[in-house]
Amino acid sequence: MAEETTNQQTEETVAEPSAFERIEAAVAKAREAGKYDFDAIVDDGLEEGIKSLTPDKIEKTINEVLQSETGVRLKAYVDTCVHCGLCSEACHVYMSLDKDPKYSPVGKVKRTMWKMIDKKGKLTPEEVKQCSIIASTECNLCRRCLQYCPFGIDIGYILSTVRRICHKLGVTPLYIQDTAHSHASTQNQMWVKEDEWIDTLFWQEDEARDEIPTIRIPLEKEGADFMYSVIGPEPKFRTQLIYQAAAIFDQAGLDWTMPATPGWDNSDMAMYTGDFEIMARNKKYHFECAQRLRVRKIVMGECGHAFRSVYDVGNRWLGWKMPPIPIIHSIQFFYELLRDGKIKVKEKFPEYVTFHDPCNTVRGMGLHEMGRQVAEAFTLGVKDMTPNREYNYCCNAGGGVINCGPPWKTKRVLANKAKAEQLARMKDQGVNTVVAPCHNCHGGLEDIIHDYGLEMELKFLGDIIYECMEKPGAVEE
């Protein structure tokens, strides 16, 4: 009996911790190491930016933006808010950081926009720096709080206006500003040169021909049904996604093309720094690229913020109520290919998965059911996180937050314990794979999964489709 008890105790001692226990251990370790001291973070872009500020420049810039760029929309939001706080528990940052009121959506507005209005623009350089930190690193502009506000106040819009002011004052986090410079210089966010872009497409076509001998990535084909556009990180870091998309389009028998000139990158970090002039120029390149090729529509890869930029923000800054050429996100495009029988399931992904709803394609476009139907078709099934769909928690990488770079990574991960807990619930139910049809979501979730020790795998929809679809043109291994 004593021996059995000893064996039982030994088994209990070596038992694997649950996902929730791993989260608590990670948080305790971070607290012990002093990683919650966010005030100690130094960002050279912010520190250098405030050196040239003067009281007159700050006051003039704030009031110019408030008087000439915002209008009745901002006034309606500011005048309507009754400080009820119903938005607080909608925010993953507030929920993750001990429910500190300053991290609530209304708390962030009080520390930025309301301060600017109350002081009539008379802020100190240090106050401008704090406004930039709050707007750029504590808010993803995910608009989850909008779902809970009884008056429909768009706090994402208010904080994006704060970013706009900070940009015009030259006070922006270093890493995301460097990305905006890349957009300005190369029309893509990764400093990819034109010959590097073309070489990457040739390389991926060559790789794909080992599997599908007849495959081509059509470059500069005029009059095709659609132009496929991607974001800068694909040719830089995730080239397999270009390969996979080419395989899907080829085996579905589609008429498509990709451009060889600037305008191929549909991403836009300038939108998130508040540099709307560069944002508009990027979108103009993108639309003109498609118009030059005389395609019928643009199909965008699995990126949320790029879709927001092309479909909802950049086009409006250019003065177009709607884009000058139809645009469709790959979530919807894959759904339609499946619905119309152009892609078919060969074998299902042998696991249940959970589905992460990207803010910009779900709260911004309502594509949650289409994404789930594709995931359901190619896997054993989808088990949803709670909450989900338009109420899903943000990955805490979107809205430009991940692009603020290494100085802010620990804060970004710790400020999304709420998402880690969502994933942990699924992990403890035996779900090990997350389908996330968005690049920034992948970046944010990868960091959360790694730092909290959750040991889950991430997939794009394209990953699942490519792995499990029928490919009649492929050579057998």
Task: Tell which wins on pLDDT, 247 or 314.
Answer: 247
Place of tokens 């210089």: 185
414 and 331 both lie in a single domain:
no
Among 336, 358, 391, the domain boundary falls at 336
CATH for 117: 1.10.1060
What percent of the chain is modeled with pLDDT above 70? 97
| Domain membership flag for residue 311 | yes
| Domain membership flag for residue 76 | yes
Q: 476: pLDDT confidence band, cut at 50, 70 and 90? A: confident
Q: Tell me, what's the pLDDT at 382?
A: 98
| Domain membership flag for residue 193 | yes
The letter for the amino acid at 186 is T
450: helix, coil or strand? helix
Over 70: is that where the pLDDT of 467 sits? yes
The letter for the amino acid at 191 is W
Task: Tell which wins on pLDDT, 4 or 38.
Answer: 38
Contacts of 391 (CB under 8 A, 6+ apart): 144, 147
Over 60: is that where the pLDDT of 10 sits? no
109 and 63 both lie in a single domain:
yes
Average pLDDT over residues 68-85: 92
| Domain membership flag for residue 273 | yes
Cβ contact 235:199 at 8 Å: no
Gap between the Cα atoms of 278 and 68, Å rounded: 19
Q: 242: pLDDT confidence band, cut at 50, 70 and 90? A: very high
Tell me the two tokens of residue 410: 């620990």
349 and 223 both lie in a single domain:
no
Running DSSP on this structure, what letter comes out for residue 98?
A: T
Contacts of 468 (CB under 8 A, 6+ apart): 345, 346, 347, 348, 349, 378, 379
Cβ contact 437:331 at 8 Å: yes
Cβ contact 114:74 at 8 Å: no
Tell me the two tokens of residue 440: 């920034």
Gap between the Cα atoms of 427 and 18, Å rounded: 8
| Domain membership flag for residue 15 | no
What percent of the chain is modeled with pLDDT above 90? 93
Q: What is the pLDDT of residues 100-126, one digit of tens each?
A: 999 999 999 999 999 999 999 999 999
314 and 453 both lie in a single domain:
no
263 and 366 both lie in a single domain:
no
- Tally of domains within the chain: 3
Full domain range(s) for residue 113:
44-172
Distances (CA, A) of 79 to 73, 82, 151, 470: 10, 8, 11, 56
Contacts of 372 (CB under 8 A, 6+ apart): 355, 382
Among 336, 353, 377, the domain boundary falls at 336
Among 121, 154, 172, the domain boundary falls at 172
Q: Tell me, what's the pLDDT at 181?
A: 97
| Domain membership flag for residue 11 | no
| Domain membership flag for residue 1 | no
Over 70: is that where the pLDDT of 7 sits? no
Average pLDDT over residues 449-468: 97
Contacts of 210 (CB under 8 A, 6+ apart): none
- Residue-by-residue DSSP string for 173-223: -HHHHHHHHHHHHHSSTT---HHHHHHHHHHHHHHHHTTSTT----BS-TT
166 and 185 both lie in a single domain:
no
Phi first, then psi, for residue 87 (nearest 5°) are -80, -15
Tell me the two tokens of residue 310: 């092309």
164 and 208 both lie in a single domain:
no
Gap between the Cα atoms of 190 and 232, Å rounded: 5
187 and 332 both lie in a single domain:
yes
Over 90: is that where the pLDDT of 5 sits? no
Q: What is the pLDDT of residues 404-455, one digit of tens each?
A: 999 999 999 999 999 999 999 999 999 999 999 999 999 999 999 999 999 9
Q: Tell me, what's the pLDDT at 16?
A: 80
Phi first, then psi, for residue 267 (nearest 5°) are -80, 170
182 and 277 both lie in a single domain:
yes
| Domain membership flag for residue 447 | yes
Strands 327-329 and 349-355, bridge-based pairing? unpaired
- Residue-by-residue DSSP string for 366-421: --HHHHHHHHHHHEEEE---SS-GGGPPP-S-TTTTGGG-GGGHHHHHHTTHHHHH
Cβ contact 323:289 at 8 Å: no
Q: 395: pLDDT confidence band, cut at 50, 70 and 90? A: very high
76 and 168 both lie in a single domain:
yes
Q: Tell me, what's the pLDDT at 321?
A: 82
Average pLDDT over residues 370-386: 98
Q: Tell me, what's the pLDDT at 311?
A: 87
Gap between the Cα atoms of 214 and 6, Å rounded: 64
261 and 394 both lie in a single domain:
no
Q: 389: pLDDT confidence band, cut at 50, 70 and 90? A: very high
CATH for 224: 3.40.50
135 and 208 both lie in a single domain:
no
